[in-house]
Each structure stands twice: as structure tokens, then as C-alpha cells.
Amino acid sequence: MNPQHALQLTGIHKSFDGFKALTDAHFTACWGEVHALLGENGAGKSSLMNIAAGLYAPESGALLIDDNPVRLNGPRDASRYRIGMVHQHFKLVRPFTVAQNILLGLPADATAGSYRKRLKNLEAQIAAKAAELGFAINPQQLVETLSVAEQQRVEILKVLMAGARILILDEPTAVLTDQEAERLLATVQTFARQGAAVVLVTHKMADVKRYADRVTVMRGGRTVDTLAPQDVSVEQLVRLTVGESAPASQHPAAAPGAERLVVRGLRSTGQGPLQGVDLTLHAGQIYGIAGVGGNGQSELANALMGLPQPTEGEIHLHGFGDLRGASSEARRQLGIAAIPADRYGTALAGSLSVAENFAIGQIHSGRYGPFAFLRSKRVQADAAAAVEAFDVQGVRSLQQKAALLSGGNAQKLVIAREFSREPQLVLVHSPSRGLDVRATQAVHARLRAARDAGAAVLVISEDLDEVLALADRIGVMNSGRIVAQFDYPADRQAIGRAMVSHD
């Protein structure tokens, strides 16, 4: 008879530069179950699961697999114990194809023949596995051309095809639509019922209630409780997670002002995904874009934010003209704030300090003096004030690297920088992807405040709940264009139909 416990972590302690990330943390996942792990950003969830995946070594405590103590010397060791982790921030080689990335995670097979033959066979296996999961993935496509949602699917495929039986998923549905999330979670639930163990790190209470057999809550690096989701309410789970009852978000009505940005006939050059996007942003309004990942949302965001994206058509900013040729400095002078989906890869320089990442937004304004002789005291003072005002936690020193911030706090640092000059146009992609309840509320509050101050706000998100919670007007993106628009309050089912329709 197989042991009941698939994975156990007991009495785990872990510190980073003197900061106690985990203090006597405990977690147990059993075979045949989906076990959810809840907690605020910085609560220690990822650190604990990184220990289970062999990425970190605990300073003290025990790790057991099948009720037997083990010591992992790295992810390869974890893989040999059939542990696989899908990280919130992807571990893919961007210039490689989907198949090449998945091949990297597989053990060498001396009987498979040449590399080319093995890759060809793997491509067929990937296509079959993707179809089983309901993922539309081309095994020969380069990862760097994929949307964030598509990259998430590749990560899931990579772990499953490596043979994982203890599957750790860190925010797996953060970039999926309702239908995609349901399909994925039903698949991993079936996977667990077939004898595997699934750890679901998530902030979506509905996913916990519907799919998890048990849930463990962490706060401040400690385990708070483990319980059955059906025995507690969402409000109780929120209270356990944040330590207090989080107020329900409200959606005040907003009347649109003057036109601020007009997009007409925006297309990708060549055979790209944008197929003629038309939309208008008004001052004092949040315009939300909903859609299934891979329908051009990332390319639209890149084009509007000035990131490399060859397009033709019109992006007209009132009082300026065609925005596509505007430099980063000019965009800041025009009062444009850009918050991309990939906060670590695009929005922040992880190797630079917190203070440097904040100040870089105003380097060209002259506020900090000539570039070669920056006024470091003013930089430090401004960064300190922003960290406090935007509640950026985990900052032990303004000189620490931005890469050490948790996802939610990294996002708040980006927003603090982008909102430091009272923007007139806010462009944001997946603003609360992977964030906890409190951090999500803080981000949403800042976006509403910008709207109320007269800014035009564009929110692109593959989380329909987020779009419904924020948007005064919603556009549905499908096949590279806006196919339907809805005013608040919108019909969720009608939006869903527009998202998946192929007419």
C-alpha cells in the first residue's frame, strides 16, 4: 500500500540576508488530493514551495516524500522524485521553440536516436498533450513570440511531460480566462484523482472552494491553519489570509470625458496577430479589454506602450498626434504611465536597486540633476516617500535589488514610479496578475483614483473578474480585433460568448 502523504514539510526555517522568510512553517499534501496554499505576497508560500522543488535548501526542518526523509540538492533531484513546479514567473528560454524548452526538462534517452529525430517525436507528443488539456500550442513556435498566457501553458506542459506526480502550480490560472481556468483545474483535479498530488498556490478563492480538497493558509512566514474549504466561507478564508476582513470592492459609476486616445485600424505588419483594432479612451473612464489569451492583447499593449511591435494604423493622442514614434522620454512628458504584464522582465531592472528603479522614471526630467551627477539624497528621499505612500513592503533597504521584492510589492513599486507625475493616460496589462487580496485592492484603488482624477485608463486583463470589477466600458478582443463592447454593468455571459465566438 502506498504511503498516504505525498509531500511533507515540517518545522521549516529559511532566511535571506537576515530576513526570516519562513519560521517553523508546515505543509502536508496527500496522494489523490488538490491542496491549495493561500497567503499574501511575502507570506512565504513561494519560498516554501521552492524548498519542495529543490531550488532552496532549508536552514532547519524536514522534507519528506512518501513519508521518507529526503534531501534535495537541486531541481534535478526533485524531478527524480517526480516533483514538478510551474512557477508564477516563467523559466523558459525565450529564443527556443516550445518543443526545445520542453526537451530541456526531459531526461536524456539514449535510444531515441538523433537530436532532430527526438525533437520531431516530441513535437507530436506535445501536440497530443496540448489537445488533451485544451491548449492551442504550436510546438515549433518560438517562446519569445508567445503571449504571457501561452507561455504559462508551455510551463504546465513542460512539467507534466517530465513525469511529475507531485505537481506544484503557482498561480496557474492567473492569465487564463474563465473557460480555460475551468478546463485546466478540472484536468489537474482528475490528475489528482488518478493518484497524483497537486499543490495549488492561488489567490482565487472561487478556485479554492470549487477544486481544492484542503487548504493551508500562511501569513508572515508561518502556517496559520489547514482546513477543508467547504467548511469555511470565502470571508473566513480572506480573514485568515490577511489577518483582517478585507472590504468588498465597489464599482462607482463614471461618466466619460473628452477623447484622450483614439486607435483606428491598428494592424500587425505581415502576418501578425493584430487585425484592425479600433477603440477610444476617454478622460475619467476605465476601459477594460477582456479576451482569451493569444488574441493580440500582448501585441496591443506593446504597441500602445511603445515596446517593439511593428504595426500600421493610427494611435492618436489628443494634443500630440501619432504616438507610435514618441520616445520613452516624450511619453513621460506627455503624462503617459505604462504598467506592462511582465513586471520583472519589462517594467523593472531586477539588478538595480529599489531607489534606482523608482528614480529612473524622472532621470530625464532634470529633477535629480545632470545624469552624470545625480542628487542621490533627493533620489533616496523620493524613493522612501513612494515606498511608504504605496505600501511597498519587503524593502529592508532602498539599496536592495528590486528582484528581491515579491510579485505584489514589485507591482506596487512600478505603480509608484509610473504614478509619480499624475498621469493623464494609464496603460496597464494584467495589473493584479498573481497578487493577493490586499495587494489587488491597493492596485485597483490606484487605478480608480487615477480615473477619478481625470486620467484615461486602459486595463488589459485575461481575468474577467478583474475587468468586470474595474471597467466602466468593456471591449472584447477576439482574433486580433475588438469584436464587441459593453457598458457597465455588463452581462458576463454575453462577454464570455464574445470571447470564444469565432464568427
pLDDT the model gives residue 266: 94
pTM summary value: 0.60
Domain range 5-242, CATH class: alpha beta
pLDDT the model gives residue 60: 95
459 and 467 in contact (C-beta within 8 Å)? yes
The C-alpha cell that represents 34 in the structure block: 488538490
pLDDT the model gives residue 247: 45
Percent of the chain with pLDDT over 90: 45
Percent of the chain with pLDDT over 70: 92
CA distance 4 to 277: 53
Residue 175's pLDDT band, with cuts at 50, 70 and 90, is low
The mean pLDDT of 374-403, rounded to a whole number, is 88
Chain segment 29-77, per-residue pLDDT in tens: 999 999 999 887 678 898 999 999 999 999 999 999 999 999 999 988 9
The residue with greater pLDDT, 463 or 104, is 104
Picking from 440, 425, 461, 451, the residue whose alpha carbon sits closest to that of residue 289 is 461
Distance separating the N- and C-terminal Cα atoms of the chain: 53
pLDDT surpassing 90 at residue 219: no
Chain segment 129-154, per-residue pLDDT in tens: 888 877 788 999 999 998 777 888 89
pLDDT the model gives residue 282: 97
CA distance 300 to 304: 6
Residue 432's pLDDT band, with cuts at 50, 70 and 90, is confident
* Strands ordered across the beta sheet of 5-16: 19-30, 5-16, 60-65, 68-69
Residue 192's pLDDT band, with cuts at 50, 70 and 90, is very high
Of 100-114, 304-318, 388-402, the poorest mean pLDDT is in 100-114
Cβ atoms within 10 A of the Cβ of 84, count? 24
Same fold, 5-242 and 259-500: yes
The mean pLDDT of 74-84, rounded to a whole number, is 91
The C-alpha cell that represents 54 in the structure block: 529543490
The residue with greater pLDDT, 341 or 83, is 83
CATH number of 259-500: 3.40.50.300
Identify the bridge partners of residue 218 per DSSP, sorted by sequence position.
223
Mean pLDDT of the chain, nearest integer: 86
pLDDT the model gives residue 371: 65
pLDDT surpassing 90 at residue 196: yes
Of 211-215, 341-345, 436-440, the poorest mean pLDDT is in 436-440
The mean pLDDT of 293-297, rounded to a whole number, is 83
Residue 288's pLDDT band, with cuts at 50, 70 and 90, is very high
The mean pLDDT of 91-113, rounded to a whole number, is 82
The C-alpha cell that represents 167 in the structure block: 505537481
pLDDT the model gives residue 245: 42
pLDDT the model gives residue 253: 56
pLDDT the model gives residue 112: 63
Residue 187's pLDDT band, with cuts at 50, 70 and 90, is confident
The mean pLDDT of 162-184, rounded to a whole number, is 81
CA distance 416 to 400: 17
pLDDT surpassing 80 at residue 485: yes
| Amino acid (1-letter code) at residue 197 | A
Residue 443's Cβ-count burial label (10 Å; 0-12, 13-18, 19+) is: buried
Chain segment 437-464, per-residue pLDDT in tens: 777 888 899 899 999 999 999 999 988 8
Q: How is the chain split into domains, by residue range?
A: 5-242, 259-500
The mean pLDDT of 8-18, rounded to a whole number, is 89
